[in-house]
């Protein structure tokens, strides 16, 4: 799953906002593709609106809860290791402040400061908030901005749900005739938007991303539709 990592969050508040936005777009994309594949597959087997609604809604809930649980576990684990690293750092600062000051000086010098300036900067940072300085420079984390696992879980849940609603509504609202074309076209249009947006947020070439994204969605719908049609024809 895509969540802000240490390296990326070095971009500061803007960088981490963009990461969240990108994660949200990718989560919505997951919701669109997996639910579209599901409902188009069922539509290959049956015209029953109740069956489509049941399958689509079950897919939406299963997908969004699985995304949320996965995100909760992954962010909790990350947070645990960050807290553990901070605890070690706190102890070291208490037990060997001189060594820690030298360490901070080294790290700042490695980043291009002259020895004297690095020493001066390290002393000032240590005087103001030693733990925060070590957390940022040494561990690459901001102790005031650790990601909340519940936050991340909710964000994934919502992103997937928003994406999943599109194919679900597109398949159950129209009558049986135009049902499939409406769903396929609206899904492909949505995949243009999510592919383009995530590429722009990640500074990649949007055209390729859009084409790959549409191809992925079309493949998912094609495969499940074929499977559904075969099962429907076999009277399963």
Question: If binding is defined by CB under 5 A, does position 108 make contact with Zn ion?
Answer: no
Question: If binding is defined by CB under 5 A, does position 22 make contact with Zn ion?
Answer: no
The least CB distance from residue 150 to Zn ion, in Å, is 29
**Nearer Cβ to Zn ion (52/130):** 130
How far CA 152 is from CA of 17, 137, 184, 198, 216, in Å, comes to 13, 25, 30, 18, 26
**Nearer Cβ to Zn ion (119/134):** 134
* 141 CA to centre of own chain: 19
Tokens at residue 140, please? Answer: 């690459």
**Nearer Cβ to Zn ion (22/134):** 134
Alpha helices in 113-201 (DSSP H): 115-134, 149-172, 176-201
The least CB distance from residue 124 to Zn ion, in Å, is 16
* 110 CA to centre of own chain: 32
Using the rule CB under 5 A, give the single segment among 19-27, 71-79, 93-101, 142-150 that binds Zn ion.
Answer: 93-101
Question: If binding is defined by CB under 5 A, does position 130 make contact with Zn ion?
Answer: no
Q: How far apart are CA 37 and CA 63, in angstroms?
A: 12
Q: How far apart are CA 224 and CA 8, in angstroms?
A: 37
Q: How far apart are CA 160 and CA 66, in angstroms?
A: 10
The least CB distance from residue 111 to Zn ion, in Å, is 15
The least CB distance from residue 152 to Zn ion, in Å, is 27
Question: If binding is defined by CB under 5 A, does position 119 make contact with Zn ion?
Answer: no
Using the rule CB under 5 A, give the single segment among 12-20, 56-64, 138-146, 156-164 that binds Zn ion.
Answer: 138-146
The CA dihedral of 2, 149, 92, 140, to the nearest 10 degrees, is 30
Q: Residue from 22, 119, 134, 179 that binds Zn ion (CB under 5 A)?
A: 134
Give the torsion sign (CA, 25, 26, 27, 33). positive
**Nearer Cβ to Zn ion (33/122):** 122
The least CB distance from residue 221 to Zn ion, in Å, is 53
Residues 162-201 contacting Zn ion, CB under 5 A: none
Q: Which residues bind Zn ion (CB under 5 A)?
A: 100, 134, 138
């Amino acid at each position: 799953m895509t969540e802000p990592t240490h390296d990326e969050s070095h971009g500061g508040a803007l960088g981490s906002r963009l990461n969240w936005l990108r994660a949200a777009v990718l989560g919505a994309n997951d919701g669109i593709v997996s639910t579209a594949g599901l409902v188009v597959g069922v539509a290959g087997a049956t015209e029953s609106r109740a069956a489509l609604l049941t399958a689509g809604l079950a897919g939406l809930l299963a997908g969004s809860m699985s995304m949320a649980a996965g995100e909760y576990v992954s962010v909790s684990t990350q947070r645990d290791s960050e807290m553990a690293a901070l605890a070690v750092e706190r102890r070291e600062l208490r037990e060997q402040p001189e060594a820690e000051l030298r360490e901070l000086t080294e790290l700042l010098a490695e980043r291009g400061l002259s020895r004297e300036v690095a020493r001066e900067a390290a002393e000032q940072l240590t005087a103001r908030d030693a733990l925060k300085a070590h957390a940022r420079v040494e561990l690459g984390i901001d102790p005031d901005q650790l990601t909340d696992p519940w936050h991340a879980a909710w964000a994934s849940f919502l992103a997937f749900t928003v994406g999943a609603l599109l194919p679900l509504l597109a398949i159950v609202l129209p009558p049986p005739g135009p049902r499939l074309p409406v769903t396929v076209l609206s899904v492909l249009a949505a995949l243009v938007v999510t592919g383009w947006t995530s590429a722009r947020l990640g500074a990649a070439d949007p055209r390729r991303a859009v084409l790959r994204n549409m191809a992925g969605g079309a493949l998912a719908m094609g495969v499940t539709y074929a499977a559904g049609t075969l099962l429907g024809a076999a009277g399963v």
